[in-house]
Structure 1
Amino acid sequence: MAAPDVAVNPFDTVTMQRALDNRIATSDQRADPSNDQWGVTGEIEFPIGDSADLIYIGSYREFRADESYDSDFSGLDVFNVLPGGGTAINTMTHELRLQGEAFGGALEWLVGGYYSDEDITQSVNFGLGADYDRLVGALLAAGTGGASLNPASPLFAGATPLQTLTGVDPSTVRTTNDYTQSSKSWSIFTHNTLEVAEGLKLTVGLRYSDESKDGSFSQPSVNNDLCPATLGQIFAGNLPGGPGSPLTNSYFGLGCFAFVAPAIGTDANPFPLPRPFTSNFSDEELIYTGKVSYEFASPVTVYASFTHGYKSGGFNLDSTAASGGADPRFASEEVDAYEVGLKAKFLDNAVTLNVAGFHEEFTNFQVLEFTGAQFTTFNVPLAKSTGVEIETVIRPSDNLTINGGLTYTNARYPDNCAGTQTSNNVLSLCGNSLTNAPKWVGIMGATYDRDIGDSLNFFINGQLRMESDRRTSTQAFDPADLTTRTPVPFDVQDGNIKINMRAGLGDIDGAWGVEAWVTNLTNEITRGVTFNTVLRSGSRSAFIQEPRMFGLTLRGKF
């Protein structure tokens, strides 16, 4: 995974693509991540009579991570995550269900309950770097466009405007931000399938879910004299250009950079500085599904289903989430999903064919966006996804299996996606596709396996995946420019084909095995996410997906 430094002409997509293709990633320091995780899971099953089972499934997991890295993804020393912080996640789950059959197998029934408890704590040490002020000078100079504010002034490019203005060296700024979230979830559920007539089955499922979360942001340590001094100069009218200078917002945003700005406890300050918060979120929802299926002539089945689903809301654990008294919470997402389809087997089960058509309508669709200066989480009132999926498995012989699939998906924010909302970051999404949602995805593969003698088994497998163009950014257009709706640069990932292969030799009973494999055989370099480069308006960076990898896997049973 890499984040190429693409701080060039924002429309120079040729240079950007060249950096991506060559996996050019710049950094002023070596990342030093480490993590440790472990977990245990168990399942206990108790037979009850001849037609029911009581099943318990429990798990506990711990995750610990420490990391320090260059957070501006450039060769400049601008903004860093410093050593000493870390993330801890503890998760515990319990599920108890009773399931069985009745009426001679005509009814398959299940009832149960679920409980989970998860605690997240994170401490991050942020610091501005030695090149921060010079970057500010370049940004301010570019922002004046050579106008009367005289970008050649020592306050601007090549100089240190913040230190000149305030007397504070930005490279001394250090801040520790702490984030916590504790969530508890419980639910009761049932899922039942009844064969009401030969071949005709009805399925009904219900799940009542209750979610509660406590979230907080605090700042246990801050060494930032730059922000108060910048605000003092702004209030005194000492900016270049005098009182009412058009650079006021730029000086505030750069002198009080959100991730390191001192957190304030009240809204008395008119500027949107970070604000500590301790808040709670709770929600409940009845989730339900219904399905009718009919088996015409075994094994050909048609079906239609409807599901009302739910994804809990929570907290935006970002330093700026509660700035200016904003609500750090985001709402739960709901979906109504419709599906019709066919499942069939032909030619003595040598051919399997599954066809499905689907339509999903999301309300309060959850979106996470990085703007280049902060993370924002918000809900879009409406999103939709409609498509068709075809899957097939063909077995021409006992040794050869061929699989294929084709999916068409139109996942989009409809033109009326904003509802009654008026915020630009929502309005700019309407009429665009969802992020990383190609219209076409196709797969094709084949596996050949055979026994060698009486004790060995050999196989070789190849898989090909094709996808059409897809957007890789949260926003398709700059939310600040809804009139021209100019596409953001370097957003669309072109369609591509990737090939994976695997071959293995092992014991015929699976006691041991050796497998050689390669993924992305042709080393097709594609983007997973494209985003605004930190603190460089108009510049774009990207995280690439996995390049070609190969290896050897050993398997064994003891």
Structure 2
Amino acid sequence: MTTRSHVRVRHALQLSVAVTALALPGALFAQAAATAPAQDTVTQRAQVEDRSVTTEVDDSGIIIVRAQGREQSLADVPIAVNAVSGEELAKSGASDIRELNQVAPSLLVSSTGNEANGSARIRGIGTVGDNPGLESSVAVFVDGVYRSRSGNALSELGPIDRVEILRGPQGTLGGRNSSAGLISIYTAPPEFEFNGYGAFTYGNYDAMKFEGGVNLPVGETLAARVDGVYFKRDGFYNDVVNNVDVNNRDRYLVRGQLLFEPTSALTARLVLDYSEKNEACCAATFVQPEFAPLARVSPGLDGYNRPNIGAPALTSTQNPIIPILLGLGQNPNALTQSTFNRDIYVTPGRSFEGQTKDYGASLEVNYDLGNVELTSITGYREFNNFQGSDTDYTQVDILYRAPADNAGSRQFHTFTQELRLQGSAFNDRLDWLVGGFYANEDLKVQDNLRFGTQYGAFAPCRIINAINPALASPGSTGCISAGGRAVLQGANGGAGAFGPATGLIFAGLDNLANLNDLGGTGDVYNQNSESFAAFTHNIVHLTDRLDLTLGLRYTNETKTFDALLGNDNTICPQNRALLSGLLGVPALAGLAGGLISLSCQGNSTSEIDGLTLNDKRNEEEVTGTAILSYKPTDDLLVYGSYSRGYKGGGFNLDRSGLTGASGAGVIAGPLVAGDVANLQFAQETVNSYEIGAKYGTREFSFGLSAFRQEFSNFQLNTFNGSVFLVQNINACSTDLAGGDRDASDTTGVCDPDDVKYGVVAQGVELESSINPTRYLSFTAGLTYADTTYENNLIGNDNGSPLDPALRLLPNDNLSNAPEITATASASWTPPLGNSGFSGLAYMNVRTVGDYNTGSDLLYGKEQDGFTLVNARLGVRAPDNQYSVEVFAQNLFNVDYTQVAFNTPFVASQQTYSAFLAEPRTYGITVRAGF
């Protein structure tokens, strides 16, 4: 562990001890969301015969889950799982999966440049969500139906029955396989009694939320339920230039359900839902020293990848790119204000407006055939999103997407079918489950990313700064004034600074100056994914107290890809033809290559206009699990397990990932049809080992698990300041002599026979709950997860070198993976005299240690540890006829970032931007029910 890691651990331990001591004196408490059975009528949720959709506290107060496809006490499940009740979620104010962070210490859900790009991590492992070609390492299910990307669940969820978060690889119990874990959300089902509710919330930022629903029995065998949510709120950012707010909320959800129970043996549940968002998202601010101190940020790194202390930092005018931005019209306030000042200065006329539609239907049928139960879950979903953006996040017009139907749009059409049979045999010595899963998904991605109207003024300045910043003149063609040209031309008609090639360099700069409002005219990518899987999960009761669980899964997946590219950037081929001859001249190769790269950045060139691409990949994988569990007493379980997990490979749906005709990228030459090998990435696999113990009674529960997970071909998506890189991460078992830590893309080659896993997640999790009295309950959790890259990293499992942009990864923690996370909650619902009224006092806390928010781990992206507190106070009428509650999220208005990233095209000067997390919100909610 590095010295920096020791600082993180020490800081986070201090925070977690303080929080635990404050909230839960006298004991270790954690995250299992059990409540006292007689606490109030809300926690006494009605049981429904459809066992696949209900989890409740049983008569003894033990929480029941279906994490293994069977009804079990949470304390009897020999896997690491968090179970959070709907009541706990309502108290915490959770309305989408991001807010589960506050009640599940091993989970982190964040979003960045698009509301469709959510990323979920468990134990520090997840997939950066900015590329739709990558599936999530953490699978999300809603009512048993797979959501193909985590971001698809970043909408209002409506009334929730419970959420189960399974940690570690999954796949033998049904549904879609996952390599890091899964989140199962179960919405509140219909009931066979007439009731309804309504709620109105008003809060700061002029937030208004309307919620309502009605449950209606239709005869003895049919029940119907309809729920709706509408939420509108002003944005957290103020676009000073365009006088609009950004990161607002304007969304709604409607969900209708039918529950059909013609006999005690047969139940069927139909769910239809539609949600829509019309919002401007997502703005960013410049990172300043109060977020990333100079000691951690600088333009250069020494030979050991440490910061060069004393170099100009961030947005200082000593940073040569900053005078260029100012000279081209950047408001200086954006460069001097705090990181967390939410005034933003973007290009006039550019917009973050977008729209998201998510809708679908599912049918779940459960049929008891006597000794066998049949379960069928059929789902169809459509998800459509487009989002405009000022993609450089500056007032200078460098890069943009217009808010139209093809502005970074993605469309998912997904059909899934799951069948399970389960039962018992050999006098109940064997609980068996077998099943199959089929998924067919059509994904269409469209993009219109274009260089802005000032790119031609800005890009040549990058070249001039590299030659001599004193010569840069942003207002002059090619960023160089007549006097500067004279200096470089040489006195008295001399050969000039670049010899006979001086004229070619000037011509290249002048060509680059004309690259304005050119680029993508409509790239279209289509991908079809078809997956078949067969699985089995069996519990053998070797004795009354000793169980052996064996699970196996076979998956076959085929992905087909095609694309049609459109581009009008004629400057790229002009400068390539003009300057290619200089690439063989050692003294000029870097300068000529830089000019060509800036002219063709992201494979933007008219040479690919009308180009069609296609490819196909097929993969098979066998995964499984083995668990040995023992109950020395009725209330105590100990277990040990091994699991192998898998997540499919695929295609990078981004033209910047394409290689040139000679394999050397945009500098070498135009692309040719079929040259798409670099778009593919391999499947991600993991070997996971875990031991644990669980103790559970109504009054007290406790869980402890220790884990180690080894990931091969870990799928990493990184923005390097110009383009997105998608690369598999592995390690070499032999020493690469620093070849993975330098700036070369040729050093660090590994013999394929020496390739091993590249990422390890290992640590300990504690979780507990206590219900000391009828109206009082506590929960808390502590996760220590050392989630790190190995030394001697390489790229693909063929032994190819690591991309130089990732040189800081070896032997450091993964991004957004704090080593220490602690959560705690306290809930008190006392009766108020003999009036029948009751009170509510609820608080939860989440504290994390330091971590880096950037997937390339550059120093300016490190987030100090912080603590978040949510609170709710209220009064409830008898039988919850009505209630009034006041609440605060992020009570102490803690400033922190979700992700910091390289500001596009100025990252070579170590200028960063950041997507900020939400500030404090507060308000009042009035509810009524019948």
Partners of 1:427 and 1:172 in 2: how far apart? 33
- Indicate if the aligned counterparts of 2:854 and 2:900 stay in contact, CA closer than 8 A: yes
User: Over aligned residue pairs, what C-alpha RMSD do you find?
Assistant: 3.1
| Cα deviation 1:30-64 (Å, max 9, x = unaligned) | 31111222122221111101x32111111111112
Partner of 1:430: 810
Match of 2:380 among 39, 46, 60: 60
The alpha carbon displacement at 1:87 in A equals 2.4
Partners of 1:557 and 1:58 in 2: how far apart? 32
Partners of 1:80 and 1:134 in 2: how far apart? 15
Match of 1:206 among 535, 539, 552: 552
Partner of 1:261: 605
Partners of 2:881 and 2:555 in 1: how far apart? 43
1:473 aligns with 2:817: no
1:233 aligns with 2:612: no
Residues 158-197 of structure 1: pairs in structure 2 closer than 5 A: 165-166=510-511, 169-175=514-520, 176-197=522-543
Match of 2:694 among 343, 348, 365: 343
Match of 1:251 among 572, 595, 603: 595
TM-score (norm 1): 0.87
1:535 aligns with 2:913: no
1:369 partner SS: strand
1:522 partner SS: coil
The alpha carbon displacement at 1:158 in A equals 6.6
The alpha carbon displacement at 1:190 in A equals 0.8
The alpha carbon displacement at 1:18 in A equals 5.6
Partners of 2:288 and 2:481 in 1: how far apart? 19
The alpha carbon displacement at 1:427 in A equals 5.3
Partners of 1:361 and 1:262 in 2: how far apart? 44
Change (3 A) 1:158 1:457: farther
The alpha carbon displacement at 1:432 in A equals 1.2
1:412 aligns with 2:788: yes
Change (3 A) 1:213 1:257: same
Change (3 A) 1:417 1:173: closer
What one-letter code is carried by the residue in structure 2 that aligns with 1:550?
Y
| Cα deviation 1:313-347 (Å, max 9, x = unaligned) | 111111122222442110001111111111013xx
Match of 2:568 among 223, 233, 253: 223
Match of 2:460 among 129, 137, 141: 137
Partner of 1:363: 712
Q: Which is worse superposed, 78-87 or 228-237?
A: 228-237
Match of 1:314 among 650, 661, 679: 650
Partners of 1:434 and 1:235 in 2: how far apart? 39
| Cα deviation 1:418-446 (Å, max 9, x = unaligned) | 38442344554221111111111111110
Which has the larger helix fraction? Answer: 2
1:534 partner SS: coil
Partner of 1:12: 313
Q: Which is worse superposed, 319-328 or 303-312?
A: 319-328
Partners of 2:434 and 2:381 in 1: how far apart? 26
2:351 partner SS: coil
Change (3 A) 1:516 1:5: same
Partners of 1:359 and 1:374 in 2: how far apart? 33
Partner of 1:39: 360
Change (3 A) 1:33 1:223: same
What one-letter code is carried by the residue in structure 2 that aligns with 1:415?
N
The alpha carbon displacement at 1:362 in A equals 0.7
Identical pairs, percent: 29
Partner of 2:891: 521
The alpha carbon displacement at 1:218 in A equals 2.2
Change (3 A) 1:187 1:339: same
Match of 1:82 among 402, 416, 421: 402
- Indicate if the aligned counterparts of 1:20 and 1:525 stay in contact, CA closer than 8 A: no
Q: Which is worse superposed, 137-146 or 57-66?
A: 137-146
| Cα deviation 1:232-278 (Å, max 9, x = unaligned) | 3214769xx9993642122111111226323549xxxxxxxx97521
Partners of 1:88 and 1:134 in 2: how far apart? 35
Partners of 2:881 and 2:367 in 1: how far apart? 29
Which has the larger strand fraction? Answer: 1
The alpha carbon displacement at 1:212 in A equals 1.1
The alpha carbon displacement at 1:17 in A equals 10
Partners of 1:177 and 1:556 in 2: how far apart? 50
Partners of 2:288 and 2:846 in 1: how far apart? 32
Partner of 1:271: none
| Cα deviation 1:368-424 (Å, max 9, x = unaligned) | 111111111111111101101111101111111111111111111121443844234
What one-letter code is carried by the residue in structure 2 that aligns with 1:129?
G
What one-letter code is carried by the residue in structure 2 that aligns with 1:5?
F
TM-score (norm 2): 0.53
Match of 2:392 among 45, 48, 72: 72
- Indicate if the aligned counterparts of 2:885 and 2:926 stay in contact, CA closer than 8 A: yes
| Cα deviation 1:75-108 (Å, max 9, x = unaligned) | 1111111243132211111111011223443322
Partners of 2:912 and 2:376 in 1: how far apart? 49
Partners of 2:590 and 2:642 in 1: how far apart? 55
Change (3 A) 1:163 1:141: closer
Partners of 2:458 and 2:561 in 1: how far apart? 34
Partner of 1:109: 432
Change (3 A) 1:334 1:44: same
Give 5+ residue unaligned stretches, structure 2.
Answer: 1-281, 290-297, 300-311, 317-334, 483-505, 661-674, 731-757
2:773 partner SS: coil
Partner of 2:703: 354
Partners of 2:693 and 2:512 in 1: how far apart? 72
Change (3 A) 1:428 1:91: same
- Indicate if the aligned counterparts of 1:263 and 1:276 stay in contact, CA closer than 8 A: no
- Indicate if the aligned counterparts of 1:306 and 1:337 stay in contact, CA closer than 8 A: yes
Equivalent pairs, count: 531
Partner of 2:418: 95
The alpha carbon displacement at 1:6 in A equals 4.9
Change (3 A) 1:40 1:167: closer
| Cα deviation 1:493-529 (Å, max 9, x = unaligned) | 1011011123455576667766543221112121222
Partners of 2:442 and 2:881 in 1: how far apart? 40
Residues 382-397 of structure 1: pairs in structure 2 closer than 5 A: 382-397=758-773
Partner of 1:449: 829
Change (3 A) 1:508 1:228: farther
